[in-house]
Each structure stands twice: as structure tokens, then as C-alpha cells.
Amino acid sequence: MDAALAAPTVERVVDEVARHLAAEPAAVLDLGCGPGGGTLALTRRFPSASVTAVDRSPVMLERVRTAARAAGLGGRVRTVPADLSGAWPSLDRADLVWAASVLHELADPQPFLGGARAVLRPGGLLAVVELDGLPGFLPADPGAGRSGLEDRCHAALAAAGWSAHPDWRPVLERAGLEVLAVRTVDTVAPPAGAGTTRYARAWFARMRPALEGRLAAGDLAVLDALLDPEDPAALRHRRDLAFRSGRTVWIARRP
């Protein structure tokens, strides 16, 4: 996902988590940090905290370090390479653990949650974040007589298991954590920015092959036109695209 587009949503989720903290955190862990959108949001929101970003990908960790330095936050961000689906490295105790788009990737999330609980100080919070559905860009009627096209795309992909995750509350409770709140945060970016168009083209190119045989021929034809740079109705020429996204966060406390 384009980091600039996702940033407002992530920041609002961090604000929601902050409301449940008893005090400003001194140490924050971002587990499965990816390119570091969450890491930077956490570092900005909690200016007195040290933030440790953990990921199995050296490429992602280098992107985190580069982004932190560019934002003037490099001195407060530490990176640790680790595959958290296996043995955990030695990590300092934390007041807040952030795990975004991680749990649904694990065959069994209980060992991961056990590790997260162990690294939390008593009273510390774990924030589990997942995408709330799939990103949207088109208006309700994109033209060509295909009103509701994007809704049908999302329904077909959901039936194929895209962006699927359960309600993590019972899983968190089995791990010995107290779920304080479950919140969903939605964001709509201003229309027709360069980042919106770029991400829309990348997203539609990714989902188009998965929709073969799952949508009517007329819908598929419109998708092909949206991706065809020579078509006047192509995504690259549109000025009515608006990025819509959401996150659900489960906020849990270690007793």
C-alpha cells in the first residue's frame, strides 16, 4: 500500500490505541513492521518512547531505517531481524506492542501472542491491526453501465479469501490478554492525487487476474479498459478516484 495514502488511517488507529494507555509508553515494539508505516506513526505519536521494529526481511528493515532517518527519527528507532513465527530473539520489555497485518499470516497465532504477552510489562497493551476489507477507489457508478463494479470485485475476492481474518477477541483472550476495545477506523483520501492514481493502477493490476471467472464478462471488460493506458476511461486519466480504506484494531492489556 502507498505509505502516504495509508498514513492518515494508521495515525488514527495509533490515536485510538493511545486513549487506552494508562501512561505515556517508554518502550514500543512494532512486530512484523514491514516498510515502517506503523513504526513512524508510533514514533511520532509517542515522542519520549524508544521504538523497536522487528521483521524477518532485511529489505524491509533497511526501508524502516531509511524512512526514520529521513523523518529525523533515526535516533529513536532500532531494528531487529527475526522471524517471529519461530524462535523469538531477546527483546526488551515493552509498554506497547503493535502487530499490524501479522496474525492472519500465521498458521497458529497462539505462539506469537504468547511471545507478545511475555514481552509486555504488566498493564501494557497489545494492538492487533488488520485491514477492514479491501481498498476502494472508484465512484459508485464508474460508467460503462457497470454501477457497483467495485463492490462486486470486493465480494468476489472476499469469497476467494482475500483480506480474510477472524475476530481475534477469543484468540487474544486464550493467550491471557484482556480485550479492552475493538475499533474500526475508516479513511477517505482526497480524490485524484498522484499517489491515489498510482496505487489504484497497482491494485487493479493485482486483482484483475484473480477475478477471471469470478465476474461477468461485462465487468471484466470494464476492468481491462481501466487498466489499458490507451483507453480514455483508464485509471490513469480519471480525476474521480478517491482512496478508501479501513483498519480494525483489537486493543488488549496484559493483566
pLDDT, one tens digit per residue, over 64-104 is 999 999 999 999 999 999 999 888 999 999 999 999 999 99
Q: What is the pLDDT of residue 215?
A: 95
Q: What CATH number was assigned to the domain covering residues 3-253? A: 3.40.50.150
What global pTM score does this model have? 0.88
Q: What is the pLDDT of residue 201?
A: 95
Q: What is the pLDDT of residue 99?
A: 98
Q: What is the pLDDT of residue 177?
A: 99
**Residues of the chain whose pLDDT is less than 70?**
1-3, 144-145, 189-192
The grid coordinates of residue 154 equal 470486493
Q: What is the pLDDT of residue 86?
A: 86
Q: What is the pLDDT of residue 190?
A: 65
Residues 150, 144: contact at Cβ < 8 Å?
no
Phi, psi of 121 (to 5 degrees): -70, 150
**CA 224/CA 61 separation, integer angstroms:** 36
- Whole-number Cα distances in Å, 251 to 36, 118, 134, 140: 20, 16, 22, 33
- Whole-number Cα distances in Å, 9 to 36, 45, 61, 76, 248: 14, 13, 22, 23, 10
Q: What is the pLDDT of residue 164?
A: 77
